[in-house]
Structure 1
Amino acid sequence: MKRSARVLIWGLAMLSGGCATQSLVDDVALSGQVGVRDITGLVPLAARMELADHESFLMPLDDHDNAMPVYPESLLARRLPPQALCLRVSIGVDGAVMASAPIDEGAPACPDIHAIDAAFFHAAQTVVSGWRFDPALRCVFPTVAAKEHVEASCSGGEEVPVPVSLAYRFVFEQRDGHGSVRIGK
């Protein structure tokens, strides 16, 4: 699917969902293996990009072939309650994941990283390291008026790929002795 069509679909979903930080993934079953919730809204304002009036921003788009983490087999016998963890994923200008790191900022959606078994972080980070994205774009338009005539694309503006960090929340759980990962709330 073309980027402009994917961006338009993403934008419409954001508007209809009523929450700018809600991920499309929340509405899609992912083979019962993993769920991901975009928690970018928890990133402090000081760490966010500022745009000029004649600029807009397009989020990176994940590749549909990105693999999803699975529940670590070595932890099944422990019958643990659901384990939520948050990762900050840094995406380069080429759309490749440059790094990922646990988030431990005391946010309600992000549990204390010391309370989570490291195997869960390893499972998530290993898979995330291979993710690919269409890169995030800073769209630079010649004027504010030119920007206002465009919806959810860089049409008529210069596309400048930019590195970004996104925050994701993964929830690992067991059901009937089988590991699964669901969409985190």
Structure 2
Amino acid sequence: MATIRFARLIFQQKLNHYNDDREAVERRKERLLEVIDYHTRVNSLLESSEWNKYANRGDWGFGDVDHEGSLIWGNIGKGKEEENTVRDEQIEGFRHEDREDNDIAFFLIDVESSVIAYEYRRNVGSKAPVRIIEGVFNTYHGAEEELTTSVIVNKHEVEREVSELDRITELRFVGLKPTYVFSPN
């Protein structure tokens, strides 16, 4: 089962003299959709940036991307090559078979509130989805607008974000410890 995490997206225009007639939400959504796309060569963009360490961890890409209103959603995936051992009736034994596989994590961006909800999956990473979106966006649009991400860890911010959801299907608490009361006796 995946864990859902939240992060804040912070946009900063770099060219103050640049005049864009589009509303900020519309502009940001279009800019995000320019890089959050199946055809984006994510690793090529990451390799030439400060986020190049992510390019070494797999072949990253976006898939199943869609949008409506101020929402953008899809999957971010990390491709990897694996070797499997399979039974082979012709040789009456086992043989090694190379194949490609992808570890994927779902994400949802609300451009209006500048919040991203994403799955934390062990094989993808706890911060990789937001760091990769940040890295690709900044490499592509860095001269005009910069994106920084901040993982939301403040309990009150998380509670506020959760309260705005329409439906919660499951909730699990991990790592809770009881409160201890110190008694000087």
Q: TM-score, normalised by structure 1?
A: 0.27
| Greater length-normalized contact order (CA 8 Å, ≥ 6 residues apart) | 1
| Larger strand fraction of residues | 2
Q: TM-score, normalised by structure 2?
A: 0.27
